Structure 1
Amino acid sequence: MKELTKAEEEVMQYVWKLKKAKVADIIEHMSSPKPAYNTVSTIIRILEQKGFVGYQKQGRGHVYFPKVAQAQYKDESMKKLINNYFEGSFSSMVSFFMKKNDLRLSDLEQIMKDLNKNKD
Structure 2
Amino acid sequence: MPPQPSPTLTDREAEIMEQLWTLGTATAEEIRHRLSDEPHDSTVRTMLRILETKGFVSHKRSGRSYVYKPLIKREKVQGKTLTDVIRQFFSGSPHELVLRLLEEEQLSVDELDDLMNQFQQGRKK
Common fold by TM > 0.5: yes
Question: 2:50: which partner in 1?
Answer: 46
Residue 102 of structure 1 deviates from its aligned partner by 6.2
Q: Which runs of 5+ in 1 are unaligned?
A: none
Among residues 28, 31, 34, which one is paired with 1:29 in the alignment? 34
- Runs of 4+ that moved beyond 4 A: none
Residue 38 of structure 2 is aligned to residue 60 of structure 1 = no
Segment drifting more, 42-51 vs 84-93: 84-93
Preserved CA contact (<8 Å) 2:15 2:35: no
Question: After superposition, what is the alpha-carbon deviation per residue over 1:24-49, rounded to whole angstroms, capped at 9, x for unaligned?
Answer: 11112223x31100000000000000
- Give the letter for the 2:83 counterpart: K
- TM-score relative to the length of structure 1: 0.91
Equivalenced residue count is 119
Residue 103 of structure 1 deviates from its aligned partner by 4.2
Question: 1:75: which partner in 2?
Answer: 79
Q: Which runs of 5+ in 2 are unaligned?
A: none
CA distance in structure 2 between the partners assigned to 1:10 and 1:75 by the alignment: 17
- What's the secondary structure of 1:65's corresponding residue? strand
Residues 1:104 and 1:25: Cα distance change in structure 2 (over 3 Å): closer
RMSD: 1.4
- TM-score relative to the length of structure 2: 0.88
Residue 114 of structure 2 is aligned to residue 110 of structure 1 = yes
